């Protein structure tokens, strides 16, 4: 079955550590997105990529980095510069205009 796989489901980060969240898709979609979800704030866009080897910052990119070396993969690194990283992170893909997003099952990141 085609879909989006996010891993791990739960991640704990110590202060000062960088961590990487994985997002893999076999839907053959060009566009991929990373969102952060906090209670009461809805989904906020971190980074997005519409083609391989190209990506753009979203609204809250500070403290995050991404790469898009393969069409199937769009990993997100949460760096130590992100001061409040505890949140639920969702990866999404889009088949094209007017198709809407398909979401992964998310990664819950907690700073300990």
Q: Which residues contact other proteins by CB under 8 A?
A: 4, 31, 33, 35, 40-45, 48, 56, 58, 90, 94, 97-98, 100-106
Would you report the helix, strand and coil content of the chain in percent, each value rounded to 5?
0, 55, 45
Q: Would the CA dihedral through 70, 101, 8, 18 be positive or negative? A: positive
Closer to other proteins by Cβ: residue 11 or 45: 45
What are the tokens at 10? 């739960």
Closer to other proteins by Cβ: residue 59 or 69: 59
Least gap, CB of 106 to other proteins (angstroms): 5
Round to whole Å and give the CA distance between 88 and 70: 24
Least gap, CB of 1 to other proteins (angstroms): 14
Closer to other proteins by Cβ: residue 16 or 97: 97
């Amino acid at each position: 079955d085609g879909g989006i796989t996010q891993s791990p489901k739960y991640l704990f980060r110590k202060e000062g550590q960088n961590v990487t969240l994985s997002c893999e898709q076999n839907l053959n979609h060009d566009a991929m997105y990373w969102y952060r979800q906090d209670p009461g704030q809805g989904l906020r866009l971190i980074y997005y990529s519409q083609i391989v080897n190209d990506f753009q910052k979203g609204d809250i990119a500070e403290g995050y980095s991404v790469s898009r070396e393969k069409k199937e993969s769009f990993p997100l690194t949460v760096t130590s510069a992100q001061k409040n990283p505890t949140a639920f992170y969702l990866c999404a893909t889009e088949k094209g205009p007017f198709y809407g997003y398909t979401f992964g099952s998310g990664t819950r990141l907690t700073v300990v």
